[in-house]
Chain A
Amino acid sequence: NAGVTQTPKFQVLKTGQSMTLQCAQDMNHEYMSWYRQDPGMGLRLIHYSVGAGITDQGEVPNGYNVSRSTTEDFPLRLLSAAPSQTSVYFCASSPLLLRMQETQYFGPGTRLLVL
């Protein structure tokens, strides 16, 4: 099992450009989420999904779109990149169970720099 994979590992964008951060998991997890981590700070939830076709907003959703057409993939789209979106982006997944203690499995992160 590869776990949670994210591509690319590093990306430089110019202000106004669009791009999609890819996230995939091979553990058949229903729950997937996207976080951003700014330097020296904690993770802030952008969007999350509890299954294919179902997404919801987190703490900082503005400027980001998501879709979930399959269980495996949960791409994050930046429509018009801004310098304030410079950050490290983490994708995470977990099974959807009647157990609260299921932790999330994190991908390695994508480092994004917007000039």
Chain B
Amino acid sequence: AQKITQTQPGMFVQEKEAVTLDCTYDTSDPSYGLFWYKQPSSGEMIFLIYQGSYDQQNATEGRYSLNFQKARKSANLVISASQLGDSAMYFCAMREGPSSASKIIFGSGTRLSIRP
């Protein structure tokens, strides 16, 4: 069965520093996708970045990049040059299977707090 683990309940980072949020996963399906979402205090879910299991390169989206280590089953989110607005909950999620017809499950999240 698919499983997502985020072991950092909370993190404090100084503004302008880079931060890495950990995510490990477990699946027996060779085809899967990994997502990261941001949830600010307002509550909405914001999609950040996606990595497919067959993607040859690590995904990047602006200041967000994904450190994908397939053999270790980890998909850590890296935020470069953190900003005060990055303070939020961050969730890692996974979808199994070859299409978007399968369910997405989430990890328990990491609360990131950026210090000025």
Chain A CB within 10 A, most for which of B6, B52, B103: B103
Q: How many A-B residue pairs have CB under 8 A?
A: 71
Question: Smallest CB–CB gap between A27 and chain B, Å?
Answer: 13
The answer to whether A100 touches B109, judged by C-beta atoms less than 8 angstroms apart, is: no
Q: Which residues from A are CB-within-8-Å of B68?
A: none
Considering only CB atoms, which chain A residue lies closest to B105 in the complex?
A45
Contact between B109 and A101 (Cβ–Cβ < 8 Å)? no
Given A103-B35, A106-B45, A109-B43, A31–B109 Cβ distance below 8 Å?
Answer: no
A41 within 8 A of B: yes
Chain A positions within 8 Å of B106 at CB level? 35, 42-45
Size of interface on B: residues with Cβ below 8 Å to A = 27
Most buried by B among A41, A88, A100: A100
Give the interface of B toward A (CB within 8 A).
6, 31-33, 35, 43-45, 47, 50, 52, 91, 93, 95, 97-101, 103-109, 111
What are 25 inter-chain pairs, A to B, with CB distance below 8 A?
Answer: A31-B101, A35-B106, A41-B109, A42-B109, A43-B106, A45-B103, A45-B106, A50-B101, A58-B105, A94-B100, A95-B100, A96-B99, A97-B100, A98-B99, A98-B100, A100-B50, A100-B97, A100-B99, A101-B33, A101-B52, A104-B47, A104-B104, A106-B45, A109-B43, A109-B44
